[in-house]
Amino acid sequence: MRKIQMVDLKGQYEKIKSEVDANVMEVIETTAFINGPEVHAFQKELEDYLNVKHVIPCANGTDALQIAMMGLGLQPGDEVITADFTFAATVEVIALLQLTPVLVDVNPFDFNIDIDAVKRAITPKTKAIVPVHLFGLAANMDEIMKLAEEHELYVIEDNAQGIGANYMHSNGSKSKTGTIGHAGTTSFFPSKNLGCYGDGGAIFTNDDDLAHTIRGIVNHGMYERYHHDVVGVNSRLDSMQAAVLRIKLRNLNDYNTARRDAARKYTAAFAQEEKIITPLICDNCDCHVFHQYTLTVKGTDRDALVKHLNENEIPCGVYYPIPLHKQKAYQDERYNEADFPVTNRLVKECISLPMHTELDDDQIEFITKTIIEFVNR
Ligand X SMILES: *Cc1c(COP(=O)(O)O)cnc(C)c1O
Nearer to ligand X, 115 or 324 (CB): 324
Helix (H) or strand (E) holding 63: helix 61-71
By CB under 6 A, tell whether 183 contacts ligand X: no
Q: Are 150 and 177 within 8 A, CB to CB?
A: no
Q: How far is CA 102 from CA 77, 110, 137, 163, 336, in A?
A: 11, 20, 22, 25, 12
Range 96-135, binding ligand X (CB under 6 A): 132
For Cα atoms 176, 180, 184, give the angle at the middle one, nearest 5 degrees. Answer: 85
Tell me phi and psi for residue 52, to 5 degrees: -130, 150
Q: Of 12, 23, 43, 62, which one interacts with ligand X (CB under 6 A)?
A: 62
By CB under 6 A, tell whether 296 contacts ligand X: no
Q: How far is CA 224 from CA 54, 212, 219, 237, 297, in A?
A: 20, 12, 10, 20, 56
Name the active-site residue from 127, 176, 192, 248: 192
Stretches 58-66, 73-81, 207-215, 231-239: which one binds ligand X (CB under 6 A)?
A: 58-66
By CB under 6 A, tell whether 374 contacts ligand X: no
Helix (H) or strand (E) holding 248: helix 239-250
Site for ligand X (CB under 6 A): how many residues? 15
Q: Which residue is nearest to ligand X (CB)?
A: 61
Could you tell me the sign of the dihedral formed by the alpha carbons of 357, 358, 361, 362, in that order?
A: negative
By CB under 6 A, tell whether 294 contacts ligand X: no
CB of 347 to ligand X, least distance (A): 16
Q: Of 23, 43, 60, 256, which one interacts with ligand X (CB under 6 A)?
A: 60
Nearer to ligand X, 85 or 374 (CB): 85
CB of 266 to ligand X, least distance (A): 21
Q: Give yes or no: 192 in active site.
A: yes
Range 72-91, binding ligand X (CB under 6 A): 86-87, 89-90
The percent of the chain in helix, strand and coil, each rounded to the nearest 5, is 40, 20, 40
What single-letter amino acid sits at 55?
V
Nearer to ligand X, 292 or 368 (CB): 292
Tell me phi and psi for residue 170, to 5 degrees: -65, -20
Nearer to ligand X, 95 or 222 (CB): 95
CB of 208 to ligand X, least distance (A): 26
Q: Of 66, 126, 161, 368, which one interacts with ligand X (CB under 6 A)?
A: 161
By CB under 6 A, tell whether 160 contacts ligand X: yes
Distance CA(205)–CA(185), nearest Å, equals 9
Helices (H), 251-314: 252-269, 302-311
Please, what's the b/e burial string for 323-357 (b: 16 or more CB within 10 A of its CB; e: otherwise)?
bbbbeeebeeeebeeebbebbbebbebbbbbbbbb
Q: Of 42, 111, 135, 189, which one interacts with ligand X (CB under 6 A)?
A: 189
CB of 185 to ligand X, least distance (A): 8
Supply the DSSP symbol for 324: G
Q: Of 158, 238, 286, 358, which one interacts with ligand X (CB under 6 A)?
A: 158
Stretches 99-107, 154-162, 245-253, 262-270: which one binds ligand X (CB under 6 A)?
A: 154-162
Give the CB-side neighbour count of residue 317, counting CA atoms within 13 A. Answer: 13
CB of 85 to ligand X, least distance (A): 10
Q: Of 57, 61, 71, 184, which one interacts with ligand X (CB under 6 A)?
A: 61
Integer Rg of the chain from CA: 21
- Using CB under 6 A as the criterion, which residues of the chain lie in contact with ligand X when the complex forms? 60-62, 86-87, 89-90, 132, 158, 160-161, 187, 189, 199, 201
Catalytic residues: 192
